[in-house]
Structure 1
Amino acid sequence: MKSNAIRTVAAAALLAALAAPAFAQNIAIVNGKAIPSARLKAVEGQLERMGRPVSPEVREQLKKRLIDQEVLAQAAEQAGVTRTPEYKAGMEDARQMVLINGLREQYLKANPVTEADAKAEYDRLVAAQSGDEYRAHHILVEKEGEAKDLIAKIKAGGNFEELAKQHSKDPGSGARGGDLDWAPASAYVGEFGTALKALNKGDITQTPVKTQFGYHVIRLDDKRASQAASQIPPFEQVQAQVKEQLQQQKLGAYMKKLIDGAKVQ
């Protein structure tokens, strides 16, 4: 009798030992169907890539959500949902999204944004915000002759702001008398920025400045050292955001190339 009891305990211990690896591979078994631990790890990985740490409490919540989903999914299968057109269409959409997300992950792994890339982009952004800022007014018209007439009127004593309100085609600044507020020259299209930098305080352009938008009459009101560059946080504080921005730019360009190269009939 004692020998049988010992054998029973030993057998139970052996079964438990054999079963342990299987349970380690699954977070739960719902109505006989296993939920692999890999599914939980995949969800945790998504959260971590979004910058959300996975605490033990969060992990338990995720496990419960996966178990609840499995229970409801099994009920849906038993109810015949898998035979409906909506299910088939939804599964195709889900299949495509999984493939696309996998393609994104694969591309970013093969084409990582390095710290050097992020630093170069940061330096470029800082440089774009450095230098001088200009306070200017302008009047935008469609034809060169109109711009020349306005320059003549201003030289003869005409009020720049009133002429801008009457004639400017720029919907943003026209109503404000052509006021563009403070901005670096790089904030404007090339021809406009070049003309702006060539002016002295109080001067207006002697000839119309042609850009893609039309013809401009520009007056420089004041100039100062850039205020924006000093407000940019140190690289260490924004490195992650800069990397993310570069990743999205690279990924967007890659996806666009694929889409543009597709044969669609």
Structure 2
Amino acid sequence: MNFTSFKSSALKSVGAVSLCVALGAGLVGCGGGEGGAGGAVAATVNGQQIMEQTITDYIADFRTNTSLETDEAWGEWMVTNGYTPESVRDEVIDYYINQNLYDQAAQEYGVAVEDADITAAMDETKAMFESEEAFQEALQASNMTEESYIEDVIRPNLLQTKLAEAVAEQEGGNAEGDDATLAQAQAMSEQFNGAKRSSHILLTGEEGEEDEALAARAQQLLDQINAGEITFEDAAAQYSTDTGSAANGGDVGWDALTTFVTEYQDALNGLEKDQIVAAPVKSEYGYHIIKVTDVFEVPEGGITSLDQVPAEFQEYLAYMQQSDDTQNFTAWFEEYRNNATIEINPMPEGLPYDIDLTPYEEQAAADAAAAEDAANADATAEPTTDDQAAADAAAADAAADEAAADQAAADEAGADAAADDAAGDQAAADQAADDAAADQTAADEAGADAAADDQAAGEGEAAQQ
């Protein structure tokens, strides 16, 4: 788990609440105040201070949200994930340095987030949920409020988006939106010219079916299509083993936007629009019956409007443009940061997250050595009759204990069901009854396991005698 990965990922998407839910408790609402820790300064960015208390609060929130409050849990987590208190502090400071630089750059480029922008972004986010209640539940599950979501996710995300646009316009003079997509289409017109869209029906061998029989079955289906006994689309839906394309009449898209196996592409090259292969095409995947459904030709005079370009090409070009913009902004920000004056102060003593990792490192090393020794022993040693009997007896005892525990849980759940029912809480009673039944089943299974292990233990002892 990375300290700043949650916020960094969240800042990339306005719909980040769903990401918060997926990741569970995250580092949201962290940051703390501008004081504390004796007023100590962790770092300065072009003269702007990042307080030590801000870093400490961030880490404290992380520990709380991930159940790492105790020194033992915290130490084990750091050792397991390759952290030290110093590297944790460095990473959080680095996060805040970037946030400060984004803010400073936004001021330089005259970028600001307006209330209308936030409202639109919130509406977009809420539209991802079935109801307002579902949205609030997602916020609560992510340890967020609507206000903290705006401040920690939406506002920074919008700021960076607007900053990237301002940088692109001022630094590079790049076209935006449809103009940029059109420029990309014109630049790639030669690559798109003659592109073919195709559908296929893939037939693969059934169990025990020889290749000759499969080829004959594919040819028979092709003959039926050519005779008009079944449409290509219906045949794809009924017989193609490529279930992903079968639902769409066998459509696999444009060859200019994807890569097909050599045999498929060679066959495609010899077909015109609405033409079907004369014979099934064999590849490593089976036999393909291929049909060209469309061909794109660049208009005379070149591409002058996006309306001339298939929608799939437009989507691809827009994605490419977005990717280029992201890379350009990343490179710009890296240079912007390199030119900044950044000072990071030494880590003070006595910080609450700064614990001695020695015992946890020693324990981790011991556990690793023990696991390696056990693996080596298991790989080279044959179990003796005595060892097997002892293992069976131990398993029997453990299963018996588990059975007793499950029986106790079943009894307790049954009592809860009765109490809930008596109180008139039928829903709770039903749930408790279900729990009781589940625990009873577990108890029965554990009891059966115990009996089986007892028998195994007895057999081991008998073999020993």
Higher strand proportion: 1
Using the size of structure 1 for normalisation, the TM-score is 0.47
Using the size of structure 2 for normalisation, the TM-score is 0.29
